[in-house]
């Protein structure tokens, strides 16, 4: 079980990794505190999987310093594996191995394994205990992968894109399991390219792109420090020049698309008040108004210049 102190369970400093001419990691730095769910958020190819594989001891870093549970994963792999659990992007098991057999096999690798029956109950696999791996659905295979990552009751759980390719309902089931890790004060590292996943699950997030950490903090901190401000979307009875709307109090920018105006303001209240005064003065009518706070998607666009789904 995880330590309840605020000490760093994972420490990464100036981590570098190269594959031939490709610099996968270009000097990333972050720490993960005991008991938190920490997210590495970024598009495919950003360096997330390389980072997690180095932390697990599956790859060696070319430079920098890494400690996991106080150990060097490159030199103390055997001891470290007793204290961490990992779920990789793809879990491949023999087609004819049964759920119960897979858990028993993995449990045999550890000094103090968790109860197989309790794991099956916890991850909703009891009714599938005798099912072959090949007969499991995608969601059941992912729940089995998570159960296998917990078979040694680890201090740190490393989850690499745990919901990729799953439908919305199965994703929510996986979210519930990860949130239970937090309730147990178990330290969790989650890699994802799903914005909503990071916002919902993570205590802190590192946005990683092209092998660099380009933003780090809680989702709320990242949003509050976003230069975009609050999004205000309006429809008006009569057209107004976007340049005119840009001059309103606290408005940072304004874009018009198909008759709708999207303003970003910081703070929002003076901008809305200024907008109302303008409309009254010009005898214009506000037909529709939507206000939304910035999201991690906005932060990602701001720091990278593109949207996550464009990758």
Residue 256 and residue 215 share a domain: no
Count: domains in the chain? 2
Residue 299 forms part of a structural domain? no
The two tokens of residue 41 are 């958020």
User: What are 107-136's pLDDT values in tens digits?
Assistant: 999 999 999 999 999 999 999 999 999 999
Percent of the chain surpassing pLDDT 90? 78
The answer on 268 and 235 residing in a single domain is yes
Band (88; pLDDT cuts 50, 70, 90): confident
Query: In sequence order, which residues have a C-beta less than 8 Å from that of residue 158 and are 6 or more positions away?
Result: 52, 55, 56, 84, 85, 86, 87, 149, 188, 189
- 176 and 242 together in one domain: no
The tens digit of pLDDT for each residue in 218-244 reads 998 888 777 778 889 999 999 999 999
- Kindly report the average pLDDT of the chain as a whole number: 91
Q: Are 48 and 191 in contact (CB under 8 A)?
A: yes
Q: What is the pLDDT of residue 12?
A: 97
Cβ pair 39, 190 in contact under 8 A: yes
Q: What's the pTM?
A: 0.82
Residues 248 and 132 in one domain: no
Indicate whether 190 and 205 sit together in one domain.
Answer: yes
Q: What is residue 5's predicted lDDT score, i.e. its pLDDT?
A: 45
Asked whether residue 14 is assigned to any structural domain, the reply reads: yes
CATH code (residue 273): 3.30.70.100
**β pairing state of 22-33 and 8-19:** antiparallel
Cα–Cα distance for residue pair 190/205, rounded to 1 Å: 9
Looking at the fold, whether 32 and 89 belong to one and the same domain comes out as yes
Residue 5 per-residue DSSP state: S
112 half-sphere exposure, CB direction, 13 A CA radius: 8
Domain, as residue range, for 262: 230-293
What residues form DSSP beta bridges with 215?
Answer: 207
Q: How far apart are CA 280 and CA 67, in angstroms?
A: 62
Do 113 and 73 fall within a single domain? yes
Which CATH number belongs to the domain containing residue 68 in this structure?
3.40.50.300
Question: Taking 90 as the threshold, does the pLDDT of residue 266 lie above it?
Answer: no
* Whether residues 107 and 92 fall in one domain: yes
Q: Flag whether 185 is in a domain.
A: yes
Q: Tokens 């979307």 sit at which residue? A: 233
- Of the spans 89-93, 104-108, 164-168, which averages the highest pLDDT? 104-108
> Considering the domain boundaries, does residue 99 fall inside one?
yes
The predicted model gives 23-32 an average pLDDT of 97
Same domain, 210 and 263: no
Q: Are residues 210 and 246 in the same domain?
A: no
């Amino acid at each position: 079980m995880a330590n309840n102190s605020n000490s760093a369970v994972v420490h990464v400093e100036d981590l570098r990794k190269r594959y031939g001419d490709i610099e996968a990691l270009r000097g990333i730095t972050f720490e993960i505190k005991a008991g938190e769910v920490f997210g590495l958020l970024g598009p495919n190819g950003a360096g997330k999987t390389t980072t997690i594989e180095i932390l697990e001891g599956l790859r060696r870093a070319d430079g920098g310093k890494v400690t996991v549970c106080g150990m060097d994963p490159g030199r103390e792999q055997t001891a470290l594996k007793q204290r961490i659990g990992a779920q990789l992007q793809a879990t491949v098991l023999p087609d004819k191995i049964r759920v119960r057999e897979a858990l028993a096999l993995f449990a045999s690798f550890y000094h103090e394994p968790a109860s197989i029956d309790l794991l099956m109950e916890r991850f909703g696999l009891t009714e599938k205990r005798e099912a072959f791996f090949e007969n499991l659905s995608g969601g059941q295979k992912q729940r089995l992968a998570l159960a296998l990552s917990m078979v040694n009751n680890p201090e740190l759980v490393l989850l690499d894109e745990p919901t990729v390719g799953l439908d919305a309902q199965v994703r929510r089931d996986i979210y519930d399991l990860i949130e239970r890790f937090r309730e147990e004060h178990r330290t969790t590292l989650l890699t994802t390219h799903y914005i909503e996943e990071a916002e919902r699950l993570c205590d802190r997030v590192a946005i990683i792109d092209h092998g660099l950490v380009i933003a780090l903090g809680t989702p709320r901190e990242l949003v509050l420090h976003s230069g975009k401000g609050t999004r205000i979307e309006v429809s008006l009875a009569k057209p107004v020049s976007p340049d005119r709307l840009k001059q309103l109090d606290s408005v940072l920018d304004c874009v018009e698309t198909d008759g709708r105006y999207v303003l970003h303001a910081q703070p929002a209240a003076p901008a809305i008040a200024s907008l109302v005064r303008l409309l009254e003065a010009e005898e214009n009518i506000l037909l529709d108004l939507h206000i939304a706070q910035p999201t991690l998607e906005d932060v990602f666009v701001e720091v990278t210049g593109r949207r996550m789904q464009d990758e």
